[in-house]
Amino acid sequence: MQRRYFTLLIGLCCLFATSRMAAQMQDTILIDFGDNLSAAPWNNLVDANAGAIEVLTNTLGDPTRYGIAVTDAFRDINRGGTTEPTGDLQLPATATGDSFFGNGEEWTGSVEARGAVTLTNLQADKEYDLTLFASRTGTQTRETRYIVIGASRDTVLLNAGGNTGDVVRSTMTPGTENTIVIEVEAGDNNDTAEDFFYLGALIVNYDMEEPPPVAEVEADTFLLDFGTTPSPSPWNNVTSFDSGAMVTLMNQVGAETDVRLTVVDAFRGVNTAGTTTPDEDLGFPASATGDSFFGNTGDFNGEMQPTAGVRLSGLDPRMGYTFRIFASRVSTENREAMYVLDGVMSDTVYLNAGDNTGDVAMATVFPGRDSTLTISVSPGPNNENSLGFYYLGAMEIYGEEMAVATLDTVIVDFGSSTNTTPAPYNNITDPNAGTVTDLTNTAGFYTGYSIAVVDSFNNINTDGTASPDEGLELAGSATGDSFFGNIGEFGGQVQPSAAVELDGLDPMVTYSVELFASRATSELRETRYVVEGATVDTLYLNISSNTSRTVMADMQPDETGRILVTASSGPNNQNSLGFYYLGVLRLIYPDMDPAGAAELMLTNPNGGEYWQAGKTADITWMSRNLEEVGLEYSTDNGTNWTVIDTVAAVGGMYAWTVPNEDTDEALIRITSDTLLDTSDSTFTISSDTTTCTIVVIGSSTAEGTGASSQDSSWVGRYRAYLADDTRYEVVNLARGGYTTYHILPTGSEIPAGVGIVPDLNRNVTEALTYDPFAIIVNMPSNDAARGFTPEAQLENFAAIANAAREEGTMIYIATTQPRNFPETARVDDQIEVRDSILKIYGDMAIDFWTGIADENGFIIDSLDSGDGVHLNDGGHRILYERVLGLMLDTVDCSGPSAIREAPKRVSGLVKAYPNPAESGFLMLNFSEGVRGTADVQVIDVLGRVRLRDRMQISGGADHRLDISQISGRGQNSFFVIVTVEQADGYVRDVLPVLIR
């Protein structure tokens, strides 16, 4: 420990230099008698009747072997000492301003003629230099006699009256019991009628010695006093209620530890109206019970602090810590506080501070894996105060090493299908009837438990935290969204309560149900959770901008094996519509055997796939109740096998970097214990480097909203279909809420009043940077919802399509989709845009209306996800089938359009004549110096490739292109896209031509 020296030692060294000839270094102990505490390294003895300090610390901050105790009671505490001390000792005013006192003659009905303190566990034959001080303002002589008794006896006298700096000294060797007793009484010259005498401060100086070995204790105990009136050692005084305040804790023997307490959520201030007469059984001093930190949910002096919290760090994760929490406020009101203790698990306890003198809230919690434990404080549900005052006054923490039972955990993520959390999470994305019939635990084993929404929520909140506290051990995708309900009308619905039910549980087992939700807001949106099984428990969680708080109930299921969790608006919820939320449910229970037999089946590849060397392809499988699987591949139809990896079975997918081993006889084999499965037939591994990119731009339907998962969305299904051939790649740039204005080419002029600018990361210009051979545009209904006219929408579609055509990229425009608009005019606009798209874009249009809309232009009920806006899995499947019908995977994309780096556009690269062309041919003349292989495409105004050819070219020469198959049909406009592969890359030019 770093040794700390104080100004006081300078004076002490001077005082004792003349009395000690040897240059022996000195230790010093400082003791302050009174209830106005002095800062470390002072030891504070505050009980004038029976006070004791078992382990005194010296001025270096080290614990010593010595102690002190009141062995003959004094009368009480004098607080009329000097607050302006003088003298060489430089004593602090906190030590000189108060003292223990007694009276040799009657005063207020009693006499206390003598008091005494005893220094204990001293070393025999060792000399101790004692310096004594006392003070009482006034002009009377208040002589005090100190009788120092050890191996001998010494008497010294000090006038405390008006004293500001005088001291008396005695040097003494301990007696036979290794003690020195200091008896205190009135001196002969004391002229007060009551013979008042005083003991204010004691300084003990002795030859320096090694600190004693720290006694082995079964566990650390920490005593914490929250407030501005400090308590004596070994209490730790937390005096700052501001966020960030930190205290390093000492344990019950006064030794400094690595445990720290930090205020992580500020309190409002300090309450000084707690009890000053705590129950004796409580074991807490009045200095700890008389004040506390407080907060409030209602406006108090212009401020509110609806929650507060402290965090302990440096705890031992192997220990369970038992907390005794106390708070007091003189009041007949119920001022209940709720304390949520979050470690590896969570517990919630309640305490009414109103007129409390002895009640405590108790909980035993293990710290998190990061050795931290957080205590959040807020008003309890029974708090009657109109401003919701709550308190934290004192705390005793006792650590005890406990055996941690092996636990199983099931985690359920409630939220959007576009933001699901990978295994081992279980995802429920339907707020009305979502269900998981066989939940998996975090080890990947099936439990036989199920969960279902049995009382509908309103919809899905996507504004939770994506950055939860690390100690929470939850994924950001799980905390970022949630189901919500509301007591006031919102979105045409009122959902005053909602519920999920766990089924298939063991009625004889206690389960911990932990709940989390978050919504970014400064408004208090307290949610009430009623957990019902064999008993009922009610929990309250403030979800507002929540990143770290959870609530937990320990519950046995009812006799049928069910636990019901009902969510509703809490009593402190300030939102006018009473929004409440459910984001994550974590079910924790003793380790159990998996439900059902072990199973394993390889699902991909199963034959016919075309996988390119160096690319990543997904090996997928279905497993049940397996810990790990081994993966191997063969390039010779199973004669020889090469190990790929051994991975956790949970998740069912492995991203494999395909090796550079050309073969048409590849197989994959998966094994676990005695289970084995192999590809049904062979697939191809090729060194071909072609990439055929399809980019999707659009809004929420393309992003996947409405589907139960991304895999069930139309883009997800299409991507999975093309995954069998790694030449094809789907890039999805869609974003919910977007309109045609969002995806216009960069630099487009936007009409006044629209209030939208193109998203440079998701528009058609960005799509073209992927050098796709095809773009699909899916804009279902947001333009109509925003009131944009059909004319404006069609103009935007034309600008988007032209941008793609100019780069020689095929572009497909999906029609509008049905939406349950209450206004007929909006439906009419949708139909007009639908018909126009089909007419204008012909073969390059995709019908996303027929078979999805009813006769009113609404979504067919069986295809509605429930919001009248988005399609469910069945609807997405129809869209997928329409896109599949384009047969894009049969299009030859092996030309330059397949490369990832876009060719450089070079104007004047080539000239075309005659233009108009009407003789069945077109001559192409390339610039001087241009040599290489040219890819030539002729594309019509709808983006359809009508002709394609490849030729070896040289600059300055004419090259004939046969166009007879598209000429002779009247005059039509086309674009000739010429891409030349040269040694240093690709160059491209686009020429408009007329062909007759």
**In this predicted model, what pLDDT tens digit does every residue of 154-181 receive, in sequence order?**
999 999 999 999 999 999 999 999 999 9
Average pLDDT of the residues in 600-609? 91
- Percentage of the residues of the chain whose pLDDT score is greater than 90: 68
The per-residue pLDDT for 343 is 81
Mind listing the pLDDT tens digit for each residue in 378-398? Answer: 999 999 999 999 999 999 999
Report the relative pairing of strands 319-326 and 361-365 from DSSP bridges.
Answer: antiparallel
3-state helix, strand, coil in the chain (%, to 5): 10, 40, 45
The per-residue pLDDT for 18 is 39
Predicted confidence band at 143 (pLDDT cuts at 50, 70, 90)?
A: very high
The per-residue pLDDT for 630 is 97
Tokens 């073209």 sit on residue = 768
Predicted confidence band at 538 (pLDDT cuts at 50, 70, 90)?
A: very high
CB 819 within 8 A of CB 852: no
Q: Which range (706-720, 765-779, 899-913) has the least confidence?
A: 899-913
Average pLDDT of the residues in 905-922? 83
Mind listing the pLDDT tens digit for each residue in 303-336? Answer: 999 999 999 998 887 788 999 999 999 999 999 9
The per-residue pLDDT for 708 is 85
Mind listing the pLDDT tens digit for each residue in 409-460? Answer: 999 999 998 889 998 899 999 999 999 999 999 988 999 999 999 999 999 9
CB 63 within 8 A of CB 255: yes
The per-residue pLDDT for 945 is 55
Average pLDDT of the residues in 612-635? 94
Does the structure show a pLDDT above 80 at 1?
no
CA 492 vs CA 488, 820, 870: distances in Å? 10, 13, 16
Return d(Cα 229, Cα 237) in angstroms, integer. Answer: 8
The per-residue pLDDT for 24 is 61
CB 308 within 8 A of CB 295: yes
The per-residue pLDDT for 676 is 95
The per-residue pLDDT for 768 is 96
Average pLDDT of the residues in 889-902? 54
Give me 965's structure tokens: 């198959």
CB 321 within 8 A of CB 399: yes
Predicted confidence band at 213 (pLDDT cuts at 50, 70, 90)?
A: low
Q: Residue 490 forms beta bridges with which residues? A: 493
Q: DSSP assignment of 156-201, as one string? A: EEEE-BT-SS--EEEEE---TTS-EEEEEEE-TT--STT-EEEE-E
Return d(Cα 697, Cα 775) in angstroms, integer. Answer: 7
Does the structure show a pLDDT above 80 at 368?
no
Q: How many CA atoms lie within 13 A of 832 on its CB side?
A: 15
Mean pLDDT of the chain: 89
Nearest to 622 by CA among 640, 638, 606: 606
| Between 60 and 380, residue with greater pLDDT | 380
Nearest to 723 by CA among 605, 872, 588: 605
Return d(Cα 331, Cα 92) in angstroms, integer. Answer: 36
Average pLDDT of the residues in 28-53? 88
CA 766 vs CA 581, 642, 732, 735, 758: distances in Å? 37, 41, 11, 14, 10
- The torsion region of residue 182 among left (phi > 0), alpha (psi -120 to 50) and beta comes to beta
Return d(Cα 272, Cα 238) in angstroms, integer. Answer: 14
Give the distance from CA 616 to its chain's centroid: 31
Return d(Cα 853, Cα 842) in angstroms, integer. Answer: 20
Report the relative pairing of strands 76-78 and 128-133 from DSSP bridges.
Answer: unpaired
Nearest to 452 by CA among 564, 571, 355: 564
CA 969 vs CA 844, 972, 996: distances in Å? 20, 8, 6
Mind listing the pLDDT tens digit for each residue in 935-986? Answer: 887 866 544 556 778 788 887 788 888 888 777 767 777 778 888 877 777 7
Return d(Cα 853, Cα 859) in angstroms, integer. Answer: 5
Nearest to 588 by CA among 648, 688, 514, 642: 514
Predicted confidence band at 989 (pLDDT cuts at 50, 70, 90)?
A: confident
Q: Which residues, other chains included, contact 2 with Cβ-Cβ below 8 Å and sequence gap of 6+?
A: none
Average pLDDT of the residues in 481-501? 96
The per-residue pLDDT for 369 is 65
Nearest to 30 by CA among 16, 47, 48, 43: 43
Return d(Cα 710, Cα 713) in angstroms, integer. Answer: 5
- Cα angle 115, 117, 121 (rounded to 5 degrees) comes to 160
Predicted confidence band at 19 (pLDDT cuts at 50, 70, 90)?
A: very low
Average pLDDT of the residues in 704-709? 90
User: According to DSSP H, which parts of 421-535 are helical?
Assistant: 476-479
Return d(Cα 623, Cα 663) in angstroms, integer. Answer: 28
Does the structure show a pLDDT above 90 at 258?
no
Mind listing the pLDDT tens digit for each residue in 816-856? Answer: 999 999 999 999 999 999 999 999 999 899 999 999 999 99
CA 393 vs CA 295, 793, 897: distances in Å? 12, 64, 71
HEC profile of 337-404:
EEEEEECCCEEEEEEECECCCCCCEEEEECCCCCCCEEEEEEECCCCCCCCCCEEECEEEEEEEECCC
Does the structure show a pLDDT above 90 at 346?
no
Give me 178's structure tokens: 């290794």
The per-residue pLDDT for 952 is 84
Return d(Cα 363, Cα 324) in angstroms, integer. Answer: 7
The per-residue pLDDT for 790 is 97
The per-residue pLDDT for 184 is 98
Does the structure show a pLDDT above 80 at 253?
no
Q: Which residues, other chains included, contact 625 with Cβ-Cβ below 8 Å and sequence gap of 6+?
A: 445, 446, 594, 595, 596, 597, 598, 599
Return d(Cα 329, Cα 289) in angstroms, integer. Answer: 9
The per-residue pLDDT for 216 is 45
Return d(Cα 252, Cα 233) in angstroms, integer. Answer: 9
Report the relative pairing of strands 610-612 and 683-686 from DSSP bridges.
Answer: parallel
Return d(Cα 704, Cα 734) in angstroms, integer. Answer: 9
Predicted confidence band at 14 (pLDDT cuts at 50, 70, 90)?
A: very low
CB 518 within 8 A of CB 540: no
How many H-runs (helices) and E-runs (strands) does the chain carry? 11, 67
